[in-house]
Amino acid sequence: MTCADGLNTAGRALVRPPGPRLTEAIVTHAARRPVDAALAGRQHAAYVAALRSAGWRVGAVAPADDLPDAVFIEDALIVCGDLAILGRSGAAGRRDEVAGAEQAARELGLRIERIKEPGTLDGGDVLDVGDTVYVGRGARTNEEGICQLAHLLGGRKVVPVDISGCLHLKSAMTALPDGGLIGVPEMVDTSVLPCLRVVREPEGAHVVVLGPDHVLMSASAPRTAAQLAADGLRVTSVDIGEFEALDGCVTCLSVLVP
């Protein structure tokens, strides 16, 4: 996860290629189906190409071939300015993923902090919007993790958001370049949100901001993409179907560091 996601297209995008055990990745909410690892590799390459085309310098995090979910690099690392916070997943089997993320953050010269026991926090639950940081409270991120994050962010306004029926907050809600929230209201506690634009299909809730008027979305959300394009945004769509079969989305596959 990145604070002020993608507003500077001269930044760096951290990605980690899918490993040989990808098909064993955790599935919590999607209907489990066979995953084509070769196709996933091609989809990931196309995703990386889209980032590069938008002006982002792509850096690869060291492979973690023994960790099936490691491709979802966003969960391991939260970047705010020159601070990198290492997550501590509520899924114990994913906690070893942070080692490679820490190495990549150090190579960028970022300061390192970490979420400590008994706190849990996945970067996919952290959404930075203007002067507010929304944090999903659910199976992967607990109250203690949210409190530690708030302390490390040093006075930023942090708003916990209860989630249901989804893996992470950013599975249900993201933000557009103007800071407006977009998502699925049935999956989030809307009482703590200023407003929420309802998407045309659930996959439309997943938006990566690549620039001031440019967003990256899944090809699984054509109606939402058309709506945003009609509003004047440049929309790049990529097919990430094999990752969506593993509860993944476009935000999960990168950490943008302005």
Q: Which residues are catalytic?
A: 168, 252
The dihedral formed by the CA atoms of 23, 60, 92 and 120, expressed in degrees to the nearest 10: -130
Q: Where are the strands (E) in 98-168, listed by range?
A: 111-114, 126-129, 132-137, 157-162
Residue 126, SS3 per DSSP? strand
Distance CA 84, CA 81 (A): 8
151, amino acid identity: H
- From residue 207, give the alpha-carbon distance in Å to each of 23, 70, 230: 24, 21, 16
Task: Tell me the residue length of the chain.
Answer: 258
**DSSP class of residue 34?**
-
* Joined tokens for residue 142: 């607990």
